[in-house]
Amino acid sequence: MAYQTVTMRPMDSPTLVPPAFDRRAWPMNGRLDHWTAPDGWSLRRYRLGDGQRGQLLMLGGRGDMIEKYLEVIGHWAARGWAVTAFDWRGQGGSGRLTDDPMCGHINDFGQWVADLKAFADDWRAQAVGPHVIVAHSMGGHLLLRALAEGMLPPDAAITVAPMMGVHTAPLPRWLAVAITHAMCALGFESRQAWTQKEDSGRQRAMRQKRLTHDPERYADELWWRDHSRDVALGSPSWRWVAQALQSTRALEQAGALEHIRVPLLILATNVDRLVSTPAIRRMAARVPGARLHVYGAEAAHEILRELDTVRLDALRRIDAFLDEVAPV
């Protein structure tokens, strides 16, 4: 097993100056439409790029919408990738699963895994490869779970701050599990697990610190939420929390990670307050050939939406990895 852990050292390469990119506008040459899941559910989809380099599928995290990742989508499209992204069922522009449009809900993470498998099969059949997948947070968890459950692997995969475990501090995990089970048993499973006040400057500031050190990129997300209220989402439901705790534990204990056979790069941060970095380290060590890079205090959870010192370093690592393991 070629397992590598690197901590907090930027790549040795010339400083990149990011090109001007309007993060609050859809690129003119992209295509926004919908893809229909096998059960008839409509998932919002976006595509950009000519595909001379290959096909890249971008998977967001919980509560995300495609708009948050237009900048990195544009980066990979400029490098020749045909980039595809979609909103998970129940969030972004893919509808809602409860009467509360701000509640991030799912009955079973297995539904998202099934959506991913079907979407990836269709995506793969549309064009020649190489085919690679980049997945953030919850998307990283769902990708690894799908691969562990037998999804046809891409030529390469990258997970960024993957949800291999839920950061429950200051509560111990067993108490978090007990509380979520109790709330679901009491009939609150489809209600928001905590309050997220849209107009609270204090809450927005606290949320930004958990996500990124870049106030401008965080403000971009709020701009999209304020100008397209149908894609805005608030806190997860109690059922989502219960499913996250259950699904991450099952993936860690099932022994299936050792059977994943895909070149895998994992980027994480030591100070993540949403997902468990110790769990990432434990589980990365079990995936044959996985490469792990862990940032320090300079990076919060949304590594690809961080200040450019971190964000561009992450993109360099990803691009170099793909050039190595998924050549044209």
Chain segment 91-127, per-residue pLDDT in tens: 999 999 999 999 999 999 999 999 999 999 999 999 9
What pLDDT was estimated at residue 6?
44
Domain extents in the chain: 4-17+26-325
What pLDDT was estimated at residue 20?
82
What pLDDT was estimated at residue 11?
53
CATH superfamily of domain region 4-17+26-325: Alpha/Beta hydrolase fold, catalytic domain (3.40.50.1820)
Segments of the chain scoring below 50 in pLDDT:
1-10, 12-15
Chain segment 188-240, per-residue pLDDT in tens: 999 999 887 767 788 889 999 999 999 999 999 999 999 999 999 999 999 99
C-alpha distance from residue 316 to each of 15, 45, 109, 204, 215 (Å): 10, 26, 32, 30, 22
CA angle at 230 for the pair 224 and 234, rounded to the nearest 5°: 80
In this structure, how many other beta carbons lie within 10 angstroms of the beta carbon of residue 250?
Answer: 13
Instruction: Show the beta-strand stretches assigned E in 8-69.
Output: 31-36, 42-48, 54-59
CA separation for the pair 223, 258 (Å, rounded): 42
